[in-house]
Amino acid sequence: MEIYFWAFVVGGLICVIGQLLLDLGRFTPAHTVTILVVAGAILSGLELYQPLIDFAGAGASVPITSFGNALVQGALSEAKQSGLVGIVTGIFEVTSAGISSAIVFAFMASLLFRPKG
Amino acid sequence: MSEQKQHILTEKEYQKIVKDKEPKRPVVRNCIRAFLVGGFICMLGQAISDIYIYFFNFTEKSAGNPTSATLIFISVLLTSLGIYDHIAQWAGAGTAIPVTGFANSMASAALEHRTEGYVLGVGSNMFKLAGSVIVFGVFSAFIIALIRTLVSMIGGA
């Protein structure tokens, strides 16, 4: 059950970083999310993101920073097998589920719903 | 002369005046809300992932994909019902930073532009906000993976 506590704390803190970028850094939401994705990719390149996931579970894998991590990890694992070309072929390997499900569900929503004020 | 000088001064001070007049952002309050809602969404993600592990025989690693798909589904549904935006207004970054915010931006763009048609409206606007995440994520991941691979190639040889 301890993992639930840390998921809450770490996930919450990542969101606080985002909120500080919005409020104090005066970035737009799009810039804030982009900064966090790139930050996740850099942490992943330094081998620091997986330890955070081991420690905090969904607290590290649910925030958008894990998208950057997953892109790098997919590219690296494919590159290990097939060399430099693997970077391009492997980049979406891990993130496929997130992107394709978001496209499918969002499109289904546009078929079924009208925008609500 | 003096009039012109004053004009320059007001021009310079304009930004300061704007800044003073702008309502102060309740940073601490916003951060507490972001912490609570963001933390709750991550805890929910942990619960969903545990359900996949215990009831559907996923491993800790393989449960990540169905977990984000489930969160994305919930987020799109709440967006379609107009509920997500209400929570987002209260929670700020707490709903924008988790993967649910990514899905929310796609679903709300898809809904907003459906009147322009499915190809030109929904299809071409869905990634209006989410696109920058993918572009910068992929490009930075490419550079980082390239550096890592080259370093390990040189180190290995």
- pLDDT band for position B101 (50/70/90)? very high
Angstrom CA distances, B75 to A102, B88, B105, stand at 9, 11, 10
- pLDDT band for position B155 (50/70/90)? confident
- What integer pLDDT is reported at residue B61 of this predicted model? 83
Q: Quick check: helix, strand or coil at residue A83?
A: coil
Are B42 and A63 a contacting pair at CB < 8 A? Answer: yes
Q: Which candidate in A50, A103, A110, A113 is best for mutational testing of the B interface (most B CBs within 10 A)? A: A110
A39 near B CB under 8 A:
no
Predicted confidence (pLDDT) per residue in B106-143, tens digit: 999 999 999 998 899 899 999 988 999 999 999 999 99
Phi/psi of residue A63, each to 5°?
Answer: -60, 155
- What integer pLDDT is reported at residue B3 of this predicted model? 53
CA distance B123 to B28: 39
Interface of B with A in 106-135 (CB under 8 A): 106-112, 114, 118, 122, 126, 129-130, 132-134
Q: Which candidate in A19, A37, A93, A96 is best for mutational testing of the B interface (most B CBs within 10 A)? A: A19
Residues whose CB is less than 8 angstroms from the CB of residue B19 and which lie 6 or more positions away in sequence, other chains included:
none
Predicted confidence (pLDDT) per residue in A68-91, tens digit: 999 999 999 999 888 889 999 999
Angstrom CA distances, A72 to A9, A93, B60, stand at 25, 10, 19
pLDDT greater than 80 at residue B19: no
Residues whose CB is less than 8 angstroms from the CB of residue A74 and which lie 6 or more positions away in sequence, other chains included:
A90, A91, A92, A93, A94, A95
Cα dihedral across residues A20, B71, B101, A70: positive or negative: positive
Predicted confidence (pLDDT) per residue in A6-34, tens digit: 999 999 999 999 999 999 998 999 999 99
On chain A, the residues whose CB falls within 8 A of the CB of B110 are: 106-107, 109-110
Are A115 and B138 a contacting pair at CB < 8 A? Answer: no
Structure-token match 């299809």, residue found = B123
- Please tell me the pTM assigned to this model: 0.88
Predicted confidence (pLDDT) per residue in B1-10, tens digit: 555 555 666 7
Of A61, A91, A107, the CB nearest to B138: A91
Q: What is the pLDDT averaged over residues B65-80?
A: 94
Chain B residue closest in CA terms to A89 = B142
Predicted confidence (pLDDT) per residue in B102-113, tens digit: 999 999 999 999
DSSP string of A12-40, one letter each residue: HHHHHHHHHHHHTS---HHHHHHHHHHHH
CA distance B77 to A101: 13
Amino acid at B52: Y
- pLDDT band for position B18 (50/70/90)? confident
CA distance A40 to A106: 25
Reported ipTM: 0.93
